[in-house]
Amino acid sequence: MRRGFQIYLDTNVCEHHATKLETPIDSLSKSCDIDDFLSGDVGSRAAIFHVYFESDKWVDKLQQVYHHCDLIFVFCTELHSHTVEQLKMVDLPRVHIYVCGFINQYKFQHASVATYMDWFYTTSQFYLRSRPNFLKYRLDPFAIKPLAFDALLGEQREHRNVVYDYVNQNNLNNKIKMTYFGLIRPESEHGNILKNRGFEFDWQDPNLQYCVSTDQENIKWSVQYVKYHNERISMSQIVPLDVYQQTAYSLVAETNATNDWNFYTEKIVKPIMAQRLFIVVAGRHYLKNLRSFGFRTFGNIIDEGYDDIVDNQVRWHSAMDQVKYLCTLDQVKVFDQIRNTVEHNLNVLKNTDYHDSVFNEIDSLLTGCIPAD
């Protein structure tokens, strides 16, 4: 009788995932070579795939091993139109998909889909686990600030254009610290739109250095790694201390703002860690689904009905109306009303291991496939 258990690991990320498994299989073997994996004479097989941001080759490889596997696990930490379409292609029995958010519009018929909140976990690692007092001694979330909101818009997106135009058309520049790195208005006279690619980080800070393998001039994406206080961290996950010291609340313009899915990134984690009120310009039910993780939002202060609006433009403008409204309120009174909520949110983030539940489930599924004696 064939015995043993073999797992195919498609990338180095998958190898990292495999280190978190505690499946009690004495004869477990791991393979990163697909031909070796398929030629092995074992009793059971499984495979782990990670969705590439810039390639769909993983789909072909999954289909190649599918009929040889008892279980297949797919991790997707980047929800975009092309990655969601790829996931639809592997809507098959025995496939278990883990995504960094919620897929709202498409109902998977065969594959199981669960949340894997990797951005919650990785963004909070430095601040809440490696250096748990880092923000405590650098930020005072309840001190009066000279400005109401930060709006760090990043690269050009349709919903971010709405934010940018709304701020300028409503003369909110003196209340909002806004940066926008997408050059959408070359003729713009506003000083808060940057014509050169850049990020909201001060490269003069001696605690922020590019890695040996990453030259500052060649940094293409904010997700690339840098050294911050001698630790390796994605640049996008660094809390903008100077910006938060100047502003009371955060306007989060998420990476994607479609209604088809909600993708939760470091953009929402940073204000939660810093105990800040946030308004989010994103897809429908972003707040509703965020609350399903145990977080609270701010419906006791503002009208969060914008989260239920189907029409993108109407929803985004309604969210901005709440930004404008908050700019008129006394910060001290707002801080008093949000204190319990932001402290609760920080505790949820601190006390939740967003990886454990996923890998416990995988361990259970793998254990169920162990060949009987």
**pLDDT tens digits, residue range 210-269?**
665 555 555 556 777 888 888 888 888 999 999 999 999 999 999 999 999 999 999 999
**C-beta atoms surrounding 213 within 10 Å:** 8
Q: Does residue 372 belong to any structural domain of this protein?
A: no
Domain count, the chain: 2
CA-CA distance, 242 to 146, in Å (whole number)?
12
Q: Give Cα 317 distance to the centre of its chain.
A: 23
The predicted pLDDT at position 220 comes to 59
Q: Flag whether 127 is in a domain.
A: yes
Q: Are residues 318 and 330 in the same domain?
A: yes
In a domain, 102, yes or no: yes
- 149 within 8 A of 323, measured Cβ to Cβ: yes
Asked if pLDDT for residue 27 goes beyond 80, the answer is: no
Lowest-confidence region among 7-21, 85-99, 151-165, 172-186: 172-186
Q: What average pLDDT does this structure show over 285-298? A: 98
The residue range of the domain holding 59 is 5-116+355-367
Q: What is the pLDDT at residue 373?
A: 54
In a domain, 346, yes or no: yes
Asked if the structure places residue 320 within a domain, the reply is yes
The reply to whether 373 falls in a domain is no
Of 186, 172, 314, 175, whose CA–CA distance to 257 is shortest?
Answer: 314
pLDDT computed for residue 232 by the predictor: 87
Examine residue 338 and state whether it is found in any structural domain, yes or no: yes
Is 181 a residue whose pLDDT tops 80? no
The answer to whether 262 and 283 have CB atoms below 8 angstroms apart is yes
Same domain for 297 and 177: yes
- Let me know if residue 342 belongs to a domain: yes
For strands 101-103 and 261-263, give the pairing. antiparallel
Q: What is the mean pLDDT of residues 105-113?
A: 96
176 φ, ψ (degrees, to nearest 5): -130, 130
- Strands, DSSP E only, in 10-131? 28-31, 44-50, 71-76, 95-99, 101-103, 112-115
Residues 110 and 131 in one domain: no
How many Å apart are CA 241 and CA 229, to the nearest integer?
14
Are residue 155 and residue 247 in the same domain, yes or no? Answer: yes
Q: Are residues 108 and 126 in the same domain?
A: no
Across the strands, what pairs with 9? 48
pLDDT at 60 exceeding the cut of 80: yes
Percent of the chain at pLDDT exceeding 70: 87
Q: Which residue has the higher pLDDT, 49 or 223?
A: 49
- The answer to whether residues 108 and 125 belong to one domain is no
List of residues 6+ apart from 327 with CB closer than 8 A: 148, 149, 172, 175, 176
**Within this chain, do residues 103 and 239 fall inside the same structural domain, yes or no?**
no
Say yes or no: 133 and 59 in one domain. Answer: no
In this predicted structure, the answer to whether residue 4 has a pLDDT above a threshold of 80 is no
If asked whether residues 25 and 131 sit together in one domain, one would say no
pTM for the model stands at 0.91
Regarding whether 147 and 239 lie in a shared domain, the answer is: yes
Query: pLDDT value at position 186?
Result: 45
pLDDT at 26: 55
Are residues 292 and 223 part of one domain?
Answer: yes
Q: Residue 194: pLDDT above 70?
A: no
pLDDT tens-digit map of 310-365 = 999 999 999 999 999 999 999 999 999 999 999 999 999 999 999 999 999 999 99
Cα separation, 275 vs 163, in Å, equals 23
Residues 190 and 76 in one domain: no
How many of the other CB atoms lie within 10 Å of CB of 357? Answer: 14
* pLDDT at 2 exceeding the cut of 50: no
Mean pLDDT over residues 30-49, rounded? 88
pLDDT of residue 368: 83
Q: Compute the CA torsion angle 6, 10, 15, 17 (nearest 10 deg).
A: -90
Assign residue 97 the CATH number of its domain: 3.40.50
Helices (H), 100-236: 118-124, 158-169
Residues, the chain, total? 373
Single-letter amino acid code for the residue at 234: S
